[in-house]
Amino acid sequence: MRGLSIGAASVLLRIAVVISLKRSINEVKVPSCDGFHNIYLDNIEEDQEEEEDDEETTTATTITGRGNDHDYDFYRNTCPQAETIVRSKMAQIVSRHNDVPAALLRLFFHDCFVKGCDASVILTDSKGERSNFTERQAVPNRTLKGFDILDLIKEEVEKACPGVVSCADILALATRDGILLVGGPFYPVFTGRRDSIHSYFNEAVVEIPNPDGNLSETLHLFGLKGFDERETVTLLGAHNIGKISCEFIQNRLYNFLATGQPDPSVPLDFLNEMRINCQEIRDSRNGLSPTAANPSISESTIFRGLTSISSGAGFDNHFYQNLVRGRGLLFSDQQLMADEKTARYVRDYAFGDGSAFRTDFARVMVKISILNVLTGFQGQVRTNCSLPLYGS
């Protein structure tokens, strides 16, 4: 892992002090994080040593706009209730729709992987984009959901502090709170991001990892964003919550690599189980689970494997236990067992008590959340998350 500077280390040190003073709010309890920064310090020191050896190397995880432009509790003076509103709204939504955290986590990942965490994936209109296509239209993003959730939260935040809190920050905060609500680890979220005025269709097509990609392809794409093998294994552990749409595993079930046969690496009992759960496939755009705004969407095309076949429930290490048993849903996930350079980390997480995974996941979520953020006078703060401010 590379890219976090000594300046970032000082910011992270301040986080522990700020968080330890933060009180529990509403239904989501924010834990004390005394010593939380220790998760990062060793890695930061190693990163700094690497940077000194290769001063010309620039990675995607460099924090732009350090200090006042991008900080923990950035809105403490301009909108001190912002994080409370996000947290309260998420608790309310998740109590009725427990699939929302997984949806937002995927949305956040797809946003950050293309040009950074700038809410560009949310746009339906891209100002100045010559192709006039948005990221939401790109094939990897067509099944994304959670946009309506962001609109609901943004509306509440705008009532309290008009034009102050960016959609990029709301997405980052809501994702973190959602993870916490389903039993995942707490991690600090820097705020002060600005929203992009552009959306990047072409980049979304080629830069977002393919669920049918092999291990080399996956590691290459994650590596371009500054993530090493262990961090890639950790990030893919996000698949331990939520549901997988059947369209993403159809090739493994019936036509693997255009052979007309199922993936030979899938255990027969698991193959039959997946086929039973995915008997009826409708149009991909109907293969979405209900959200707060769309409660009537059918769930019949959703494979519930991540909960129905696992021995665990909620946010834990059952994802890795399934990979060890050859029961990964996505081909790209199961590929983590194809080479010892990643398989060893899968086994570490699978056979441990889950604490190592939770610690690593918290750390890597901080890292992905600061990918190429816009700060200061870059970008804008949208009042409607799907539309840029045309006067900017």
The structure tokens listed for 148 are 């309506």
Instruction: In whole angstroms, give the CA distance from residue 202 to residue 225.
Output: 17
Residues in Cβ contact with 219 at an 8 Å cutoff, skipping those fewer than 6 apart: 229, 232, 342
| Pick from 164, 183, 215: nearest CA to 334 | 215
Residues in Cβ contact with 116 at an 8 Å cutoff, skipping those fewer than 6 apart: 60, 371, 372, 373, 374
Query: How high is the mean pLDDT in each 10-residue block of the chain (392 residues)?
Result: 42 39 39 42 42 37 47 93 98 95 97 97 72 84 95 98 98 98 96 95 95 96 98 96 85 92 94 82 39 33 36 76 94 97 98 94 98 95 92 56
Annotated binding site: 111, 114, 116, 118, 120, 135, 209, 239, 316
The amino acid at residue 382 is R
What is 209-367's CATH number? 1.10.420.10
| Neighbouring C-beta atoms of residue 23, cutoff 10 Å | 6
Cβ atoms of residues 33 and 16 within 8 Å: yes
Cβ atoms of residues 149 and 170 within 8 Å: no
Q: Output the pTM of the full model.
A: 0.78
Instruction: In whole angstroms, give the CA distance from residue 172 to residue 190.
Output: 9
Instruction: In whole angstroms, give the CA distance from residue 284 to residue 265.
Output: 25
110 is catalytic: yes
The structure tokens listed for 4 are 């976090």
What does the pLDDT read at residue 133? Answer: 84
Helix, strand or coil for residue 4? coil
Annotated binding site for heme b: 239
Catalytic residue among 37, 110, 220, 318: 110
DSSP 8-state class, residue 181: H
Annotated binding site for Ca(2+): 111, 114, 116, 118, 120, 135, 316
What does the pLDDT read at residue 54? Answer: 42
What does the pLDDT read at residue 233? Answer: 98
What is the residue extent of each domain of the chain?
209-367
Instruction: In whole angstroms, give the CA distance from residue 142 to residue 138.
Output: 6
DSSP 8-state class, residue 90: H
| Pick from 308, 313, 325, 326: nearest CA to 354 | 313
Instruction: In whole angstroms, give the CA distance from residue 51 to residue 59.
Output: 10
